[in-house]
Structure 1
Amino acid sequence: MAKRNTLYIRIVEGKHLPIKDITGSSDPYCIVRIDNEAIIRTATIWKTLSPFWGEEYNVHLPPSFHTVSFHVLDEDSLSRDDVIGKVSITKETLAAKPQGVDGWVNLTEIDPDEEVQGEIHLQISVVGDEDVPTILRCQVLEARDLAKKDRNGASDPFVRVRYKGKTQESAVVKKSCYPRWNECFEFELDDDPPNSSLTVELWDWDLVSKNDFLGKVLFNINRLQSAQQEEGWFRLVPDKPKHSQHEGSLGSLRLQLRLRDETVLPSGNYQPLTALLCQSVGPNLNGNSPDLIMLIDETTTAESRQEVASNLVKLFLGQGLAKEFLDVLFKLELDKTSEPNTLFRSNSLASKSMESFLKVAGMQYLHRLLGPLINRIFEEKKYVELDPNKVELKEAGCTGLHRVHTEAEVIQQSTNLLQSYLSELLQAIVQSASSCPVALCQAFQLLYRRVSQRFPEPEYRKVKFIAVTSFLCLRFISPAIMSPKLFHLRDKHADARTSRTLLLLAKAIQIIGNLDTLNCCSKEPWMVPLQPAILLGITQLKDFITTLVSCEDSEALGQQEWMNLQCGSMKKQGFLLLHRTKDKSMLMTSPFKKYYVSLNKDTLSYARTQHSKKTSFISLPTIVAVEKVEEKSFGSANVMQIISSQDNGQVETLYLDCKSVNELNQWLSALRKACSHNTDTLSSYHPGIYKGERWSCCHQKDKADPGCDKTKHGVTLQEWSDPLDPDLESQIIYRHLIGVRQAIWDKYQEMLKSEGEENRETLEGDKKLEGVTKLFSVLQDLQEFHAAVEKEEMSKNRNFLLELQT
């Protein structure tokens, strides 16, 4: 049994942001923080006060997280980025809305007194008896992960303890966000009013300017007297928020958030549900009787369809039945479609499932297909425009020293460029027929054959091709061209000029995907200059599909590829800056060097070039910690460390400097997932470096010191290349089915009635209908398992509170 917190984040757009640049605009981007730890940085959208990001992430979080915040900044190339404002949403707010948060939220001013982070380790006790005055004793031990308030990337923290107007202060610990004091403060305890409190405050000491507030913890005196003692790590909280003078004037963000707090049961509990689902995609589906997948299809709402589709695809991939699942959905969609022109054009369960499948099975194929062309367009940054109403002659430049381009020349030049891009892309598609993943080929073969059987008439001969292109072009290739960052093809969004080029190219691919040779440019007549290239593309695409669906790959090869998809092994690679130290002090004279780093199933390898024969390896089972490094250590906020154990008992630390916070968290995420089953991992680590005979984070001189901060394993980014998690996928499907249980029953009864009362007994006796009855029984069993787990948790919490009181 495990607790899983998953936060879905979609940063949609912003509006009415304030002007920060002399151009009368801003260059906004977002930083997403979980309890003040930056985990995501969006792309910068240049020269706009109404940016659109459209970026979405799934983040796995520890159950102990408190807040997710979105900081909006204006990027400046010459000076420090300007802060615009923030939106903070607590875990309690998200948990109170299980359907999710979706809407516009006003940005608020960032108050330094509210920007606190970290924890403090305290031991507070009440001592004394009848003959001796009662003493309130506060032992201040240490603190960790404090905010960095000084320009040197650290703080000079001290503690201020207040009780009934009396104040005592600790010593100042210089240049540390992980200070240790081990000081004791005592106050004589009087008869206190009900609401009297002990306040422990942390401050950053400054010699010249005003001390900076780092956070505080409050304790109720009456509760302390009842418990006699409290010890542990306490989270620092901000001071009382001040009224903002900029309320409502900083613009707003449109966010979509959904928190899933799942209790995942042991695998055995989900086996009956998995078995039922697998039976429902067998080869003998009877379309005349209600089936479990059919009932799920009919009762899934638009709001939950994407999540249900994604998890069903993953579940059936894990069971080796993804082809069969997609085939069932194809048949269900075709059975209820009478007009072939609308086939797979809606956001049905079949369409969403095929989309999810393409991202799992075809993402690497997509990168090989589009990568070179997308990179070319980004590098050339040519001005491209076909619409006369949008042509900007000053953007197009001059033909010579004195003459500006005419509108006709701009359109002709744009046509030539787009034809060149389109020709390169279509050539890549045609040549990819032999290298297209077998899993994709087989899925498209199933789709092609099902549509051919459903619409065999000669007048519908194009429909089987359009069914394939509706997914391949309209839902996969074209969206990736329009938004390459969202498909991991580029690190950043395109600028306005490049974005327009990508949009026009995506439109051309959409027109080709529609396979309409007669009216290919009727909706947008200004696309007519591309008509010859589009008509040629339609012919090339049809030939490509014919080759794709007729390829006779060996069954063994196909099965092997499907097995690889089921394993979902995490792979990651790319150039990073690397620094290695083997049981020695950090040598700052040894700079980071560029290496090509590859994460595979069993090893992390690195070499000076991608194809170098001289390669170094770290065996994944030897990794004992994967953590971030303090910014002040190397002057970079995006450094991580990989600590591995050696045969001689010593440790080796590998430092990797990433280009951005996104790349940092992707590598952290991938490595933590790959090492999730490692044993003998560290429970604490040093976020700093060992330099000058001491640790930079806690100033301890012993290099073998166990560490001043606890290791973190909870914040990871979920990506399309994630390993499958059968238990979590089954749990999400179970939760969905519980939510639509009544709708399934109603739909089931409706289907029975539609067969006629005279056949009802026969239908109910049919073994194929037993699945619905079994489903309710399985759901009931899972509900009881969850209830038992919740009861056990409540019992543990109750016993813990009783122990505190005694």
Structure 2
Amino acid sequence: MARNISLNFRVVEGRDLPAKDVSGNSDPYCIVKVDHEVVARTATVWRNLNPFWGEEFTLHLPLDFHHLAFYVLDEDTIGHDDIIGKISLSKETIAAASPRGIDSWLNLSPVDPDEEVQGEIHLDVKLVAEAQGSRLRCHIIEARDLAPRDLSGTSDPFARIFWGSQSLETVTIKKTRFPHWDEVLELHGEEGPLRVEVWDWDMVGKNDFLGMVEFSPEVLLQCPPSGWFRLLPFASAEEDAGGKLGALRLKVRLAEERILPSVYYQPLIELLVESVLSPAQDDTVTPLAMLDEVSSGESRQDIATQLVKIFLGRGLAVPLLDYLNLREVSRTTDPNTLFRSNSLASKSMEQFMKLVGTPYLHEVLKPCVNRIFEEKKYIELDPCKIELTRTRSVGLVTFQMERAAQGSVPELGKLLVLRAFVPHQNVNELNQWLSAIRKASVCNEDMLPSCHPGVFRGNRWTCCLQQDRTVQGCSRTHSAVTLGDWSDPLDPDTEAQMVYGQLLLGRDKLRKKYIEFSEEEIKLEQEVTKGQSCLEEERSGVPERERPPTAVAVARLLAVIEDLEQAHKTFEQQEKEQVARGSLHS
């Protein structure tokens, strides 16, 4: 049984951010880190202390991740960007808010440089028992992806070890975030934990802390550390700025699923497919209708996404949308409420367009967006913010983009490109377009193993100062963290597991419905048998009354839920037994 953990978060907006520029404004953007590694960046909102981003991301994470952090920075055209503040959320905090997740305003906290560590260190430690006492042999091999502490965007790192009252340190390697020391440091006759610290050497002022790892005496004796280890900050409580640094509105939700083998999900998938391919005359009695009825408004978008992916994988997305749309029309009595935004039909259509249309949108807009960046043209989508002196150039670039669309893409492409420049957009929709365009033009294509955490400005990368825009990234991306998008491969088992999770949450409603329908069935039977025995009814040729179809649909769904629940319990018990056997052997 596989385990899948994903983190969905939306950086909605900020408020009351402090001014970092002489003009009394800031140019804020957000960087998102998982365990001190950059995984996402929002667009910059220029000259605004109450920015709206509205950008949404999905991360596929390892099971052992520790925390998620959001940093707000002020982008500067000269020098380093100013850090405004951060919000740090532990895995436990996010998990405690499940299944709905976090959706609130959170105050920014100040950033302590000693806590802003990143990267890993490669060690090989041995504890040797000798006649005169213990000897600790610590081979410090290398480190990678260290935090930049100097204006050059690099550091001058050296490592220092502490064992009891003794300490030793390596040589300093200048101007790198990927130092290779390959030094063996030995200490004699001490006991206690081993602490390895990494520092940035400075000629003037104090050295800057880059991170540490610590191993207990038990670990040194029983399982001497060997391999790569994540650098950690010094333990300290996060200071609350009391809202003086502003706040972010965030939506964060953690989904951790145990995925069973495919065979266990087939009955559920077949029930859903049957609802579409062999619909009942009464569209309220299908398993798919039951799923819609017991789901909450908050979970309907997730259900729509899962259904679209399941049916798309089977080549049945169009029949699914036909079924949902016809059901929506037949159930609506007031035309003003037709295809309301929170209906399953509307959500499914929206998710289908994102799933199928987003890659096409990226392909259509990417050449135009890249050309704008290369030519450094001024583009403003909000007509209220267009400077009169630049109106002519804006119109020219818009015309060029439209011409490019007309000359190179089909009609749908023209509509998509032109839609981005329609002036009557609300702020939320406008930022969604900006987010889609920005994601289409990112330099780190195809989830490369490295990235540039900075930006290419002034003919060089601000992070590593390299002058080649296409050069390989200077920071390693996490091998287990991937940024999910609509291009994620279809995984029917994962989607079916999430549908099962939604049904599990609505099981009490299903049971209540089953009881109600069963009671109605009993009443009907009692009416039939009044004054007429079962034998007389059989002789009269009156057919036996069938169970109400709604009760049948509910019963089938409940049976599938119970089978999946039992399968999960069986596999979990097997996992516990394997862990117990492993503990005994060790």
Q: Note the 1:188-207 alignment, pairs <5 A.
A: 188-189=189-190, 197-207=193-203
TM-superposed deviation, 1:325: 2.1
742-751 vs 270-279, which moves further: 742-751
Q: Structure 1 unaligned segments of length 5 or more: list them.
A: 191-195, 386-391, 398-416, 438-472, 493-571, 578-596, 600-624, 640-654, 659-685, 689-696, 698-708
What letter matches 1:110 in structure 2?
V
Q: Separation in 2 of the partners of 1:270 and 1:783?
A: 11
Q: Note the 1:117-516 alignment, pairs <5 A.
A: 117-128=118-129, 132-176=132-176, 177-189=178-190, 197-222=193-218, 224-225=220-221, 227=222, 229-241=224-236, 244=239, 246-287=241-282, 290-363=285-358, 483-487=429-433, 491=437
> TM-score, normalized by length of structure 1?
0.58
Match of residue 657 from structure 1: 470
What letter matches 1:483 in structure 2?
E
Q: Separation in 1 of the partners of 2:287 and 2:170?
A: 66
Q: Separation in 1 of the partners of 2:77 and 2:451?
A: 25
Match of residue 562 from structure 2: 780
CA contact (8 A) 1:27 1:47 kept: yes
Query: Is the aligned partner of 1:733 residue 2:499?
Result: yes
> TM-score, normalized by length of structure 2?
0.78
Closer/same/farther in 2, CA of residues 757 and 291 from structure 1, 3 Å limit: farther
CA contact (8 A) 2:33 2:68 kept: yes
Query: Is the aligned partner of 1:51 residue 2:47?
Result: no
* 1:720-755 alpha-carbon deviations (Å, 9 max, x no partner): 344322222112112222222222222343355567
Alignment counterpart, residue 484 of structure 2, candidates 715, 718, 723: 718
CA contact (8 A) 1:171 1:181 kept: no
What letter matches 2:496 in structure 1?
S
- Identity %, equivalent residues: 40
479-488 vs 237-246, which moves further: 479-488
Match of residue 77 from structure 2: 77
TM-superposed deviation, 1:687: 7.2
For residue 229 of structure 1, give the secondary structure of its aligned residue in structure 2: coil
For residue 281 of structure 1, give the secondary structure of its aligned residue in structure 2: helix
Q: Separation in 1 of the partners of 2:360 and 2:247?
A: 38
CA contact (8 A) 1:61 1:716 kept: yes
What letter matches 1:657 in structure 2?
T
For residue 115 of structure 2, give the secondary structure of its aligned residue in structure 1: coil
For residue 276 of structure 2, give the secondary structure of its aligned residue in structure 1: coil
CA contact (8 A) 2:366 2:441 kept: no
Q: Separation in 1 of the partners of 2:349 and 2:507?
A: 25
TM-superposed deviation, 1:798: 4.4
Q: Separation in 2 of the partners of 1:52 and 1:115?
A: 26
Q: Separation in 2 of the partners of 1:574 and 1:105?
A: 30
Q: Separation in 2 of the partners of 1:167 and 1:223?
A: 19
Higher relative contact order, structure no. (Cα contacts within 8 Å, ≥ 6 residues apart): 2
For residue 345 of structure 1, give the secondary structure of its aligned residue in structure 2: coil
Q: Note the 1:77-96 alignment, pairs <5 A.
A: 77-96=77-96
Q: Separation in 2 of the partners of 1:237 and 1:87?
A: 17
Match of residue 677 from structure 1: none
Query: Is the aligned partner of 1:627 residue 2:440?
Result: no
Match of residue 41 from structure 1: 41
Q: Structure 2 unaligned segments of length 5 or more: list them.
A: 390-394, 414-418, 529-543
Match of residue 11 from structure 2: 11
TM-superposed deviation, 1:311: 0.9
Closer/same/farther in 2, CA of residues 140 and 339 from structure 1, 3 Å limit: same
CA contact (8 A) 1:67 1:90 kept: yes
Q: Separation in 2 of the partners of 1:320 and 1:380?
A: 40
Query: Is the aligned partner of 1:105 residue 2:101?
Result: no
11-20 vs 205-214, which moves further: 205-214
Q: Separation in 1 of the partners of 2:163 and 2:31?
A: 38
TM-superposed deviation, 1:110: 1.4
CA contact (8 A) 2:195 2:212 kept: yes
763-772 vs 148-157, which moves further: 763-772
For residue 63 of structure 2, give the secondary structure of its aligned residue in structure 1: coil
Q: Separation in 2 of the partners of 1:372 and 1:228?
A: 54
CA contact (8 A) 1:365 1:436 kept: no
Q: Separation in 1 of the partners of 2:290 and 2:156?
A: 62
TM-superposed deviation, 1:72: 0.6
Match of residue 510 from structure 2: 744
Q: Separation in 2 of the partners of 1:168 and 1:730?
A: 55
CA contact (8 A) 1:163 1:187 kept: no
Closer/same/farther in 2, CA of residues 187 and 776 from structure 1, 3 Å limit: farther
* 1:476-512 alpha-carbon deviations (Å, 9 max, x no partner): 99879963452468646xxxxxxxxxxxxxxxxxxxx
Q: Separation in 2 of the partners of 1:145 and 1:251?
A: 30
Q: Separation in 2 of the partners of 1:242 and 1:250?
A: 18
CA contact (8 A) 2:109 2:238 kept: no
Q: Note the 1:571-720 alignment, pairs <5 A.
A: 626-628=448-450, 636=461, 657=470, 712-720=478-486
What letter matches 1:785 in structure 2?
A
CA contact (8 A) 1:371 1:489 kept: no
For residue 333 of structure 1, give the secondary structure of its aligned residue in structure 2: helix
* 1:392-433 alpha-carbon deviations (Å, 9 max, x no partner): 9x9778xxxxxxxxxxxxxxxxxxx9xxx9xx99xx99xx9x
CA contact (8 A) 1:157 1:203 kept: yes
Q: Separation in 1 of the partners of 2:463 and 2:118?
A: 19
Q: Separation in 1 of the partners of 2:240 and 2:270?
A: 60
* 1:238-287 alpha-carbon deviations (Å, 9 max, x no partner): 01336758553111111001111222233233222211211122243221
Closer/same/farther in 2, CA of residues 482 and 216 from structure 1, 3 Å limit: closer
For residue 730 of structure 1, give the secondary structure of its aligned residue in structure 2: helix
What letter matches 2:301 in structure 1?
Q
Closer/same/farther in 2, CA of residues 347 and 289 from structure 1, 3 Å limit: closer
* 1:217-240 alpha-carbon deviations (Å, 9 max, x no partner): 222325544x26343432221013
Q: Separation in 2 of the partners of 1:383 and 1:217?
A: 49
For residue 449 of structure 2, give the secondary structure of its aligned residue in structure 1: strand
TM-superposed deviation, 1:574: 7.1
Q: Separation in 1 of the partners of 2:423 and 2:483?
A: 24
Match of residue 691 from structure 1: none
For residue 88 of structure 1, give the secondary structure of its aligned residue in structure 2: strand
* 1:572-624 alpha-carbon deviations (Å, 9 max, x no partner): 987979xxxxxxxxxxxxxxxxxxx9x9xxxxxxxxxxxxxxxxxxxxxxxxx
What letter matches 1:790 in structure 2?
E
TM-superposed deviation, 1:118: 1.9
CA contact (8 A) 1:117 1:236 kept: yes
Q: What is the alpha-carbon root mean square deviation over aligned residues?
A: 4.5
What letter matches 1:281 in structure 2?
V
Q: Separation in 2 of the partners of 1:244 and 1:484?
A: 35
What letter matches 2:102 in structure 1?
V
CA contact (8 A) 2:121 2:144 kept: yes
What letter matches 1:774 in structure 2?
R
CA contact (8 A) 2:28 2:73 kept: yes
For residue 32 of structure 1, give the secondary structure of its aligned residue in structure 2: strand
CA contact (8 A) 1:45 1:51 kept: yes
